[in-house]
């Protein structure tokens, strides 16, 4: 994506000319080749946000972050005419954000605590490059009070709230005390720090199970777990404390009542240094796994105008209580009666900000089925999900953050903030959705093409073809945002975008995302934070096809095979007198589902078609207008448009197709060869009850057993950390340990045998 300056008249008595920010995008890896204008409708993406060329600005900004958020900040800086500095670890030296920046400084090895969390090294980079300000993005140092103070002591502007606001709201323990005094709706809980496992159990019993154990610092689902009894409270306290220490450098913990089956709704706020504070309405963030958001939307289908107003006003009350300015999020839980309760305030830009955009903070709520709402927390940073707010308000959040940091007042009032249309954000992760809704995957992107050429689609990504997804950082590939005049239109565009998204080389969660957006409950807006386990109680198994859909898929696979055969025969005819058959007969198998297929190619008036007979019962016509070399195949299927991806095909009849997000492995064999399949020996299966296999790549944090030790069914045997999340692995049955193939600190691959029982 790219930006272009275009002159636009702003209607004002002074008749000054302002530069209108327009978003451009390209499939190129640099910011120099703008191809097509990126807009949500005729008004452009940032239809309300104009850049004043006469306003004072920073000359150079250092971005203390990496990946897609660093790219996102650089693009707005380029639009404003501000030079940028990227800091990067060794493994990120060839990353897109490093190439996009005007300058780059290597700050250390891959481990975050030695590079992106090292305040002194980053401060040295600021001094070395002469940067006037630092944008922290989200995560890492975005809510670090000490870092903000160090910058201030060196006359460097921190692009975010004051260190006092971060200290007040970045600490979830202290923020609850402040929120209670500000008359914000609260969840029952313990206001102090919980220091050890025994105290956690005592506090949990005082509150009453279930409870939420979570880190006082940070966010992103790390350092958060639900406990339903004393045993889980002890185990989860230990795991959460370890995650908090490695992710945020702060292992303080709190315990509060867990509200079951609520909605998670956050409010974006924006403030300046003159005391002006606005709310930019809500984002619905209820689709989660492991307390981390997967799909967000703005607005929420659940809130009425009155509840929206009340929640927004409480968010502003809290912001005033801490003298807040810049981007932040106030999080709430909301029940079915629209009662709402404070969760936390995020004092930074949110991931999902492209659905809201402005110099804002975000207030997050949980909403229960009665529409009661409860404060969760205030995040003193830009949120991951900020693009959906940008889409519905027309305001560039990063632009406004930079303006406020420079001392400029907001040029909006509350009555100026309206919602236009609907937006969704899907977080595309390098994860295996078939394992606990998404365990991390690593590898190199051998082929990559995002769907940014589709109208009303925005792709925020920090990777390109050839990029490496490592186990050291968050596995986010892209924040995929779509916009429409209404919810249905935005969802339809999201389906088209996911069907057209090409990712090869790493496992990704598109199958799960694609299934969710067409699932009945989601389409109707009947969602909560328990959505995934309720809709997929046995875990995600892929798109469940009807027989008619299977028949369509096997017909398409047969046509792909015929297309390959025709290509081969075309080459052979150049060297021999081989004639092609008039039709092709196959048996096509999809697991236990099989059909006999006859494909007859035809051509009339230059129009090529395949006529497909399925088991002598169904006749299908498919236009021969696709190419086997294309990843995405746009097919005319009985007159209806049909999008799928050709993932792989080989000479032995194996054809792998991606349909509705899910990958299907089919076997296309000539009918004569298919007769011999029944006598082929079956592949021997591993006894998974006796062998513990690593479900993901990661680093071994602890090993709890040794050879010769007897273990119980379900007993913890080791903990593997991946992407800052600690995963407890357990024995599949009772038995005696025969083999231990790992040790603490070792890096393991997905599929490695860790423990074996006799």
Residues 160 and 200 in one domain: no
Q: What angle do CA 47, 50, 55 make, to 5 degrees?
A: 170
Q: What is the pLDDT of residues 359-391, one digit of tens each?
A: 234 556 566 666 677 777 788 888 888 999 999
Q: b/e per residue, 214-245, with b = 16+ CB within 10 A? A: bbbbbbbbbbbbbbeeeebbbbbbbbbbbbbb
The structure tokens listed for 24 are 């451009």
Residues 9 and 141 in one domain: yes
Q: What angle do CA 14, 17, 19 make, to 5 degrees?
A: 140
The alpha carbon of residue 166 and the mean position of all alpha carbons in its chain are separated, in whole angstroms, by 25
Say whether pLDDT at 1 is over 60: no
Per-residue model confidence (pLDDT) at position 36: 27
Mean pLDDT to the nearest integer, 571-580:
56
> Would residue 334 count as lying in a domain?
yes
> Would residue 162 count as lying in a domain?
yes
348 tagged catalytic: yes
* Residue ending a domain, choose from 170, 202, 219: 170
Residues 128 and 251 in one domain: no
Q: What is the CATH number of the domain that holds 386?
A: 3.30.470.20
Q: What is the pLDDT of residues 270-298, one digit of tens each?
A: 999 999 999 999 999 999 988 889 999 99
Residues 552 and 528 in one domain: no
Spatial separation of the C-alpha atoms in residues 127 and 104, rounded to whole Å:
13
Residues 345 and 359 in one domain: yes
For 10-65, where are the E strands, in sequence order?
17-25, 36-38, 50-51, 60-63
Q: What is the pLDDT of residues 447-475, one digit of tens each?
A: 999 999 999 999 999 999 999 898 888 88
Residues 231 and 127 in one domain: no
Residues 152 and 42 in one domain: yes
Q: What is the CATH number of the domain that holds 617?
A: 3.30.700.30
Strands 103-108, 133-135: pairing is unpaired
3-state secondary structure 637-655: ECCEEEEEEEEEECCCCEE
The alpha carbon of residue 127 and the mean position of all alpha carbons in its chain are separated, in whole angstroms, by 34
* Residue ending a domain, choose from 375, 398, 416: 416
Q: Contact 232/215 with Cβ under 8 angstroms?
A: no
Q: What is the pLDDT of residues 489-529, one digit of tens each?
A: 999 999 999 999 999 999 999 999 999 999 999 999 999 99
Q: What is the CATH number of the domain that holds 727?
A: 2.40.50.100
> Would residue 399 count as lying in a domain?
yes
Confidence of residue 74 (pLDDT cuts 50, 70, 90): very high
Q: In what order do the strands lie in the sheet with 211-215?
A: 224-227, 211-215, 253-257
The structure tokens listed for 409 are 């007042």
> Would residue 681 count as lying in a domain?
no
Confidence of residue 345 (pLDDT cuts 50, 70, 90): confident
> Would residue 661 count as lying in a domain?
yes
Q: What is the CATH number of the domain that holds 36?
A: 3.40.50.20
Place of tokens 């409010």: 267
Q: Which domain holds residue 52?
A: 2-170
> Would residue 319 count as lying in a domain?
yes
Spatial separation of the C-alpha atoms in residues 573 and 565, rounded to whole Å:
12
Task: Give me the number of domains the chain comprises.
Answer: 6
Spatial separation of the C-alpha atoms in residues 570 and 401, rounded to whole Å:
60
Residues 632 and 729 in one domain: no
Residues 151 and 13 in one domain: yes
Count CB atoms within 10 A of the CB of residue 540: 22
What's the whole-model pTM score?
A: 0.81
Least confident of 4-18, 64-78, 135-149, 549-563: 4-18
Give 343's contacts (C-beta < 8 A, 6+ positions apart): 187, 264, 331, 332, 333, 364, 365, 366, 374, 375, 376, 377
* Residue ending a domain, choose from 416, 443, 478: 416
Per-residue model confidence (pLDDT) at position 236: 95
> Would residue 511 count as lying in a domain?
yes
Per-residue model confidence (pLDDT) at position 371: 65
Residues 241 and 217 in one domain: yes
Q: Catalytic residue among 23, 252, 338, 348, which?
A: 348
**How many residues in the chain?**
758
Spatial separation of the C-alpha atoms in residues 581 and 593, rounded to whole Å:
27
Residues 528 and 577 in one domain: no
Per-residue model confidence (pLDDT) at position 333: 86
Residues 158 and 235 in one domain: no
> Would residue 680 count as lying in a domain?
no
């Amino acid at each position: 994506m790219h930006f272009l300056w275009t002159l636009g008249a702003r209607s004002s008595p002074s008749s000054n000319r302002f530069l209108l920010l327009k978003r451009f995008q390209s499939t190129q890896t640099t910011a120099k080749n703008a191809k097509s204008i990126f807009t949500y409708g005729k008004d452009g993406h940032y239809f309300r946000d104009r850049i004043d060329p006469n306003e004072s600005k920073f000359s150079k900004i250092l971005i203390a972050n990496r990946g897609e958020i660093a790219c996102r900040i650089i693009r707005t800086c380029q639009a404003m005419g501000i030079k940028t500095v990227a800091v990067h670890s060794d493994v990120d030296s060839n990353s897109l954000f490093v190439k996009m920046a005007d300058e780059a400084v290597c700050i250390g090895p891959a481990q975050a605590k030695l590079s992106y969390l090292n305040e002194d090294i980053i401060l040295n980079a600021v001094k070395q490059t002469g940067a006037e300000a630092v944008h922290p993005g989200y995560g890492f140092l975005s809510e670090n009070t000490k870092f903000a103070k160090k910058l201030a002591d060196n006359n460097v502007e921190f692009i975010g709230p004051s260190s006092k606001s971060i200290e007040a709201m970045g600490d979830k323990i202290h923020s609850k005390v402040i929120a209670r005094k500000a008359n914000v709706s609260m969840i029952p809980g313990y206001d102090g720090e919980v220091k050890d496992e025994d105290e956690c159990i005592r506090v949990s019993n005082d509150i009453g199970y279930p409870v939420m154990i979570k880190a006082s610092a940070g966010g992103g689902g790390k350092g958060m777990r639900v406990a339903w009894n004393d045993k889980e409270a002890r185990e989860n306290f230990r795991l959460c404390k370890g995650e908090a220490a490695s992710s945020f450098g702060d292992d303080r913990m709190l315990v509060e009542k867990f509200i079951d089956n609520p909605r998670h709704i956050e409010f974006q706020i924006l403030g300046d240094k003159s005391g002006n504070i606005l709310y930019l309405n809500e984002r619905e963030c209820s689709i989660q796994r492991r307390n981390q958001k997967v799909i967000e939307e703005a607005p929420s289908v659940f809130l009425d105008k009155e509840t929206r107003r009340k929640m927004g006003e409480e968010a502003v009350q809290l912001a005033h209580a801490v003298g807040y300015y810049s981007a932040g999020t106030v999080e709430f839980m909301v029940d079915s009666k629209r009662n709402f309760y404070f969760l936390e305030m995020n004092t930074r830009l949110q991931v999902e900000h492209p659905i809201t955009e402005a110099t804002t903070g975000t207030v997050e709520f949980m909403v229960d089925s009665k529409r009661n709402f409860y404060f969760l927390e205030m995040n003193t940073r830009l949120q991951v999900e900020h693009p959906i707010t940008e889409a519905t308000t027309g305001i560039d959040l990063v632009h406004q953050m930079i303006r406020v940091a420079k001392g400029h007042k907001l040029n909006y009032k509350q009555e100026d903030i309206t919602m236009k249309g609907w937006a969704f954000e899907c977080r595309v992760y390098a994860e295996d959705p078939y394992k606990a809704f998404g365990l991390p995957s690593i590898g190199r992107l051998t082929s990559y093409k995002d769907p940014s050429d589709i109208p009303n689609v925005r792709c925020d990504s920090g990777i390109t073809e050839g990029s490496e997804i490592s186990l050291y950082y968050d596995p986010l590939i892209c924040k995929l945002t779509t916009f429409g005049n209404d919810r249905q239109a935005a969802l339809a565009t999201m389906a088209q975008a996911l069907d057209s998204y090409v990712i090869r080389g790493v496992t990704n969660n598109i199958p799960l995302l694609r299934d969710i957006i067409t699932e009945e409950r989601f389409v109707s807006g009947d969602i909560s934070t328990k959505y995934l386990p309720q809709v997929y109680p046995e875990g995600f198994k892929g798109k469940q096809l009807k027989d008619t859909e299977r028949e369509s898929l096997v017909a398409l696979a047969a046509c792909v095979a015929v297309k390959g055969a025709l290509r081969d025969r075309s080459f052979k005819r150049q060297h021999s007198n081989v004639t092609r058959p008039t039709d092709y007969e196959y048996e096509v198998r999809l697991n236990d589902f099989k059909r006999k297929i006859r494909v007859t190619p035809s051509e009339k008036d230059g129009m090529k078609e395949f006529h497909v007979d399925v088991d002598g019962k169904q006749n299908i016509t498919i236009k021969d207008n696709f190419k086997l070399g294309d990843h995405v195949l746009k097919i005319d299927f009985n007159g209806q448009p049909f999008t799928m991806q050709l993932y792989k095909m080989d000479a032995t009849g194996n054809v792998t197709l991606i349909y509705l997000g899910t990958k299907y492995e089919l076997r296309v064999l000539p009918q004569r060869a298919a007769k011999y399949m029944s006598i082929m020996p079956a592949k021997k299966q591993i006894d998974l009850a006796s062998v513990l296999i690593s479900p993901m790549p990661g680093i071994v944090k602890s090993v709890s057993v040794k050879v010769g030790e007897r273990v119980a069914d379900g007993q913890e045997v080791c903990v593997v950390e991946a992407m800052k999340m600690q995963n407890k692995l357990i024995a599949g049955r009772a038995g005696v340990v025969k083999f231990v193939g790992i040790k603490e600190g070792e890096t393991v691959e997905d599929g490695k045998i860790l423990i074996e029982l006799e």
